[in-house]
Amino acid sequence: MGFIPALEEFGSAALALGVPILIGILASLWLSAIARRIAFAHGVGAKETVAGGMRLPIVLATGLLGVFLGSLIVRRFEAMQDVAFDWATFDLWLGAVGILAAFYFAYKLIFLTARAAVMRGGGDAANLLLFRKVFAACMALLAVMTALYQVGVNVGPVLASLGIAGLAVALALQDTLSNYFAGMTIAADKPFRPGDYIKLDSGQEGFVEQIGWRTTRLKPYGGMAVVVPNNKITSAIITNLSPPEQTVRVYVECGIAYEMNLYKVETAVLEVANWVLHNIEGADPTFEPLVRYHTFGESNILFRVILRAVNYDKSFLVQHEFIKALHRRFAQLGIAINYPVRQVIEIPAPPPPAEPHEPPADVI
């Protein structure tokens, strides 16, 4: 049998339940307005802000508070009921629900604060995807175990079973987990960013299109996309050809015949290099080109020309145009580049030794 409290008692309980919920709704609306202003100022979604993401946890927290306060008022009039209500069980389950809500509140607050810090630092919030999944799984597991312990469930065997199952899953997904944790390392260390041109010591190279949690996608020049597992990248030697200053030097190796005038050649090369730097798109006109002789080769005297492009992408065009212009200028000035020539001197073999003379048999 139950009981029906007096109208004033019922009103008091309803007031105790409704006021916190109303406060939570008003706080949610206030946070929504703040989230919209922040989102408009920073060009992000309203739900991606701390204020926008905390709306639901606030409503849940105030709702549970209202239920608890309402139950306290009802208990004051417990003497009016014919059968006592089991408030101890009610408190256990309300506490369990409160624990779940508290963990959810903490998860949202920590994650949203971390994402806001990453975005303020100029980082990519997408790099927190794996962190969010792992953190959410850990918080959910801890919340469920704590809630079960609150209602009197022995969680020891459950934890032991989860440990064995986790070990089996870890062994089965060893390569996948290795790639995921390598992705976390790349996200934290930032050896390169999307848009950078990188080379791996294993031979793969290209522009970084996407950095995922399991793989990184590279796009070479004129080729198909290359998908590299993250654990291969973290163990490789990486050459990042897109430094922060973006400009990159362009090296061109060449050679001229031994009989050419080296001063005349140097002057011609510098003329061509300056023309390329000031007339070709992507070349750096502020750079002073360099010419350096360095080797007496088998057929030519070898030298190196140093130019500079505004980025790695344009360096190929600068090199291409310079080689064409230099070849044309050498042809105009009669500067020769010898074909590879190797002189082979054949030394005649010595005559074979004379065979020893044997006396006739009749003489013996």
pLDDT of residue 1: 40
**332-361 core/surface letters (b: 16 or more CB in 10 A; e: else):** eeebeebeeeeeeeeeeeeeeeeeeeeeee
What rounded mean pLDDT belongs to the chain? 79
> What is the rounded average pLDDT of the residues 78-99?
69
User: Any idea which of 200-209, 243-252, 287-296, 320-329 has the lowest mean pLDDT?
Assistant: 243-252
Would you state the pLDDT for residue 123?
56
**Can you give the pLDDT at residue 295?**
93
Who has greater pLDDT, 190 or 121? Answer: 190
Most confident range (mean pLDDT) of 186-195, 220-229, 327-336, 344-353 is: 327-336
Per-residue model confidence (pLDDT) at position 109: 83
Q: Which long-range contacts (CB under 8 A, 24 or more apart) does 80-87 make?
A: 80/3, 80/5, 80/6, 80/9, 81/2, 81/3, 82/1, 82/2, 82/3, 83/1, 83/2, 83/3
In the beta sheet, which residues pair with residue 200?
A: 238
In this prediction, residues 79-89 reach a mean pLDDT of: 61
What is the average pLDDT across 196-224?
84
Instruction: Identify the top-confidence range among 36-40, 214-218, 283-287.
Output: 283-287
Higher local confidence (pLDDT), 243 or 106: 106
SS3 state of residue 157? helix
What integer is the mean pLDDT of 182-208?
Answer: 83
Average pLDDT score over residue span 133-138: 80
The pLDDT, as a whole number, for residue 79 is 53
293 against 55, higher pLDDT: 293
Q: Is the predicted pLDDT of residue 188 greater than 80, yes or no?
A: no
Average pLDDT score over residue span 102-114 = 82
Q: Report the 10 Å Cβ neighbour count for 305.
A: 23
Q: What local confidence, expressed as pLDDT, does residue 66 receive?
A: 76
Total-model pTM = 0.47
Q: What is the pLDDT of residue 328?
A: 94
pLDDT class of 271 with cuts at 50, 70, 90: very high
